[in-house]
Amino acid sequence: MPAAAAAQMIKDECLVDGNPTLNLASFVTTWMEPEAHELLSLAQNKNLADQEQYPASNEIQERCINMLASLYNAPSNGHGVDAMKEKEIAEAVGEDPAVAAAAAELQSESRAVGTSTIGSSEAIMLGGLAMKWRWRQWRAKRQAQKEQDQRQSGEVSGSDNTKSDVSGTLKGEGWATSAVMANRSYGPGSGEPPCNMIFSAACHVSLLKTCKYLDIEPRIIPLAPGQYTLDPDLVMEAVDENTIGVMVILGTTLTGAFDPIEEINDRVTAYNEQHGTDISLHVDAASGGFVAPFSHPDLKWDFRLERVKSISTSGHKFGLVYPGVGWIVWREKKDLPEDLVFHVNYLGNDEKTFTLNFSKPAAHVLLQYFVFQRLGREGFTSIVTRCLANARYLAEQLSRTGVVEIMSENLQPGGRTVPLCVWRLKPDKQLRRLLGFDERDLVHELRTRGWIVPAYSLPAALDDVIAIRIVVRESLSHETCDLLLHDIKTKLVDLMNKAAESARNARKLMRATLKQQARGATGGKELLIEGAMAAAEQEDDAGDSDADRADDEARAALAVQILGAVQPSRPHARFHGVSSVIQPTHHGKTMTRVSGALHAGLRAVGLEHDKHADDKVEDAAAAAPLAGGKPELSAEGSSASAAAPADTKEGHRHKYSALLHNMLHAVHGRASSVHTGTAHSEATGKSKHITSTIC
pLDDT in tens, 492-526: 999 999 999 888 888 788 877 877 776 665 555 55
pLDDT over 90 at 605, yes or no: no
Mean pLDDT confidence for 600-623: 45
Share of the chain above pLDDT 70, in %: 68
pLDDT tens for 437-464 read 999 999 999 999 999 999 999 998 898 9
> Residue 338 has what pLDDT?
92
- Give the least confident one: 340-344, 419-423, 469-473, 507-511: 507-511
| Residues paired with 258 in a beta bridge | 250
> Residue 689 has what pLDDT?
39
Mean pLDDT confidence for 308-324: 96
> Domain 378-471 belongs to what architecture?
Alpha-Beta Complex (3.90)
- Give the least confident one: 256-260, 304-308, 528-532, 672-676: 672-676
- CA dist 599 and 611 (Å) reads 9
Share of the chain above pLDDT 90, in %: 53
Mean pLDDT confidence for 170-174: 33
- Give the least confident one: 146-155, 306-315, 665-674: 665-674
Q: What is the mean pLDDT of the chain?
A: 78
> Residue 603 has what pLDDT?
52
Q: State the fold for domain 55-149+173-368.
A: Aspartate Aminotransferase; domain 2 (3.40.640)
Is the distance from CB of 134 to CB of 335 less than 8 angstroms? yes
Give the residue, 187 or 293, on which the prediction is more confident.
Answer: 293
Q: Give the start-end residues of each E strand in 273-359.
A: 280-285, 308-314, 326-330, 342-344, 351-353
> Residue 485 has what pLDDT?
96
pLDDT over 50 at 537, yes or no: yes
pLDDT over 50 at 576, yes or no: no
Mean pLDDT confidence for 350-371: 91
- CA dist 637 and 169 (Å) reads 99
- Give the least confident one: 34-38, 465-469, 533-537: 533-537
Give the residue, 27 or 51, on which the prediction is more confident.
Answer: 27
pLDDT over 60 at 13, yes or no: yes
- In degrees to the nearest 10, what's the CA dihedral of 679, 681, 687, 690? -30
> Residue 505 has what pLDDT?
86
Cα 621 from chain centre: 44
pLDDT over 90 at 579, yes or no: no
pLDDT tens for 661-675 read 554 444 433 333 333
Task: For residue 632, name the pLDDT band (cuts at 50, 70, 90).
Answer: very low
Distances (CA, A) of 60 to 171, 308, 450: 44, 25, 39
- Give the least confident one: 52-56, 230-234, 273-277: 52-56
Is the distance from CB of 317 to CB of 287 less than 8 angstroms? yes
Task: Mention every residue, 6+ apart, whose C-beta is less than 8 A from residue 85.
Answer: 104
DSSP 8-state code for residue 18: P
Residue spans of the domains in the chain: they are: 55-149+173-368, 378-471, 478-694
- CA dist 239 and 245 (Å) reads 9
| 3-state SS assignment for residue 654 | helix
DSSP structure string for 490-539: HHHHHHHHHHHHHHHHHHHHHHHHHHHHHHH--TTHHHHHHHHHHHHHHH
Give the best-scoring range by mean pLDDT among 188-202, 518-532, 569-583, 673-687: 188-202
List the one residue out of 39, 656, 28, 637 whose CA is nearest residue 368: 39
pLDDT over 70 at 600, yes or no: no
Is the distance from CB of 312 to CB of 285 less than 8 angstroms? yes
- Give the least confident one: 96-110, 224-238, 492-506: 96-110
49-56: long-range contacts (C-beta < 8 A, 24 or more apart)?
Answer: 49/347, 49/351, 49/353, 49/358, 49/359, 49/360, 50/347, 51/347, 51/349, 51/351, 52/347, 52/348, 52/349, 52/351, 53/347, 53/348, 54/362
| pTM of the entire predicted model | 0.75
